[in-house]
């Protein structure tokens, strides 16, 4: 259940530091916030706005609250096989996935939209393409179907009845980052020209009805579609790798259900605010939409459990829930304070990249306890399936 931290900040997080709370309060202080800012149980300090925050606005949008990886999210697919269909050693499958799905900063396929130029899932270009597109259309095409870096990953998991799942975390890649930064910088420039004083320059906003606002909405919605299609494309590549690895036809290893959900996005939605049904721009930065019956994917940290959930439609959270475990240590602190041997122990028995030194900033000890996070949002979601990974491929 939530805690009323201030008159306009409501929090489901029990592990919340003062720096993060102050950042959420700065967002909530803006005059166009409609209602309260909702902090999910994985909330932590972020760029501009708090990661794990849900922000309703009227008449304006904060580009940095959507974030620099527009449309980042999760896709999960249950395959029609169980653990008994897999060998004990998945090292070769890990190598096949790594070959078919490029990862890392700036990495992509050699041509087109993936192997053989397959355009599956690539969104149509918007009618009016912004200045960001100069030189970036080729990048968007070659990076489509690629993983990226940081906390992005591909996993093969088993659920509570040993059914096999593919789980994948990624977003809009370099083109989404470019779009975001063009509009964040543009909003900051507008604030200076309009002599608008903000509690944090990164909270620069765009006013509805202006050309700058409409340009951002057009580009941002396209990037959200790109991110969703990017996940679908990678899922198809991983599924094909599994088929080749098992030497089985697709009808013997079908995808029997899938969930594809954003957790960095904004959309027009209607919510009850101050007793009235109100249309707002609802920005979820590190949060999943969880209307009643909505399916979602909530990953733990590397090596931890993940969850397939159904939303309960909780009004106080604006029908939202957490997007993961949430960091409790910065990447620099993790590299400084955590030991490689500890990460290797936690990944024992799994097929994974194996380079613990390169991945130490993704160590589970750098994240909040996913069990505590899930317990704190029992009023927001129902757990449908609990997954544990047997293969983990990280972007480095």
Q: Is residue 53 part of a domain?
A: yes
- Domain membership of residue 13 (yes or no) is yes
Domain assignment of residue 314, yes or no: yes
Q: Is 323 a catalytic residue?
A: yes
Residue 251 belongs to a domain: yes
CA–CA dist 136, 114 (Å, integer): 16
For residue 358, being part of any structural domain is answered with no
Which pLDDT does position 116 carry in this prediction? 46
Does any domain span residue 349? no
Q: For each successive 10 residues of the chain (396 residues), what is the average pLDDT?
A: 88 93 96 96 93 98 96 98 97 97 87 56 76 77 91 96 98 93 95 95 97 94 95 96 97 97 96 94 98 97 93 98 94 94 92 90 92 97 97 89
**Structural domain harbouring 19:** 3-328+367-394
Assigned domain for 62 exists? yes
Q: Count up the domains in the chain and report the number.
A: 1
- The pLDDT, as a whole number, for residue 106 is 84
Distances (CA, A) of 305 to 130, 372, 386: 40, 12, 7
CA-CA-CA-CA torsion sign (126, 144, 255, 263): negative
* Count of beta carbons in the 10 Å neighbourhood of residue 329: 18
How far apart are the C-alpha atoms of 181 and 131, rounded to whole Å? 12
Residue 161 burial class via C-beta count within 10 angstroms: exposed 0-12, middle 13-18, buried 19 and up = exposed
CA 204 to chain centre: 22
**Of the candidates 101, 105, 135, 103, the residue with the CA atom closest to the CA atom of residue 115:** 101
Establish if 41 belongs to a structural domain: yes
Q: Is 331 left (phi over 0), alpha (psi -120 to 50) or beta?
A: alpha
d(CA 303, CA 366): 12
Tokens of 371: 């069990």
Question: From the candidates 152, 262, 263, 323, which is the catalytic residue?
Answer: 323
Give the C-alpha distances (Å, rounded to integers) separating 286 from 15, 32, 74, 130, 310: 16, 21, 11, 25, 17
- Give CA–CA dist 291/309, Å, rounded: 11
CATH number at residue 180: 3.90.1860.10
CA 77/CA 254 separation, integer angstroms: 10
Map tokens 């993060």 to a residue: 20
Please say whether the beta carbons of 145 and 175 come within 8 A. no
């Amino acid at each position: 259940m939530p805690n009323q931290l201030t008159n306009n900040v409501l929090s489901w997080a029990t592990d919340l530091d003062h720096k993060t709370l102050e950042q959420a309060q700065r967002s909530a202080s803006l005059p166009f916030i409609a209602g309260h800012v909702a902090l999910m149980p994985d909330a932590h300090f972020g760029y501009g706005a708090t990661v794990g925050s849900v922000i309703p606005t009227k008449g304006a949008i904060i580009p940095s609250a959507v974030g620099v990886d527009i449309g980042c999210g999760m896709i999960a697919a249950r395959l029609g096989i169980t653990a008994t269909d897999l060998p004990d050693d998945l090292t070769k499958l890990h190598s096949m996935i790594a070959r078919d799905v490029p990862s890392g900063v700036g990495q992509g396929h050699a041509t087109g939209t993936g192997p053989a130029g397959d355009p599956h899932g690539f969104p149509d270009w918007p009618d009016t393409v912004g200045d960001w597109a100069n030189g970036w259309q080729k990048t968007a095409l070659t990076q489509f179907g690629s993983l990226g870096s940081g906390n992005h990953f591909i996993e093969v998991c088993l659920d509570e009845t040993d059914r096999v799942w593919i789980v994948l975390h990624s977003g809009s890649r370099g083109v989404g980052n470019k779009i975001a930064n063009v509009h964040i910088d543009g909003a900051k420039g507008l604030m200076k020209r309009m002599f608008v004083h903000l509690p944090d320059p990164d909270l620069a906003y765009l006013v509805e009805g202006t050309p700058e606002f409409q340009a951002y909405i057009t580009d941002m919605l396209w990037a959200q579609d790109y991110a969703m299609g990017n996940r679908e494309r990678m899922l198809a590549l991983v599924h094909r790798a599994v088929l080749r690895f098992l030497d089985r036809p697709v009808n013997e290893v079908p995808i029997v259900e899938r969930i594809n959900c954003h957790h960095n996005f904004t959309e027009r939605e209607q919510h009850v605010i101050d007793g009235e049904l109100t249309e707002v721009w609802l920005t979820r930065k590190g949060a999943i939409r969880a209307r009643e019956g909505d399916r979602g994917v909530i990953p733990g940290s590397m090596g931890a459990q993940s969850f397939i959930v159904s939303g309960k439609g909780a009004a106080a959270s604006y029908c939202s829930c957490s997007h993961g475990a949430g960091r409790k240590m910065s990447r620099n602190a993790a590299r400084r304070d955590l030991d490689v041997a500890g990460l290797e122990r936690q990944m024992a028995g799994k097929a994974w990249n194996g380079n613990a030194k390169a991945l130490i900033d993704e160590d589970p000890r750098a994240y909040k306890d996913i069990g505590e996070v899930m317990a704190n949002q029992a009023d927001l979601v129902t757990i449908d399936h609990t997954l544990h990974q047997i293969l983990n491929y990280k972007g480095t």
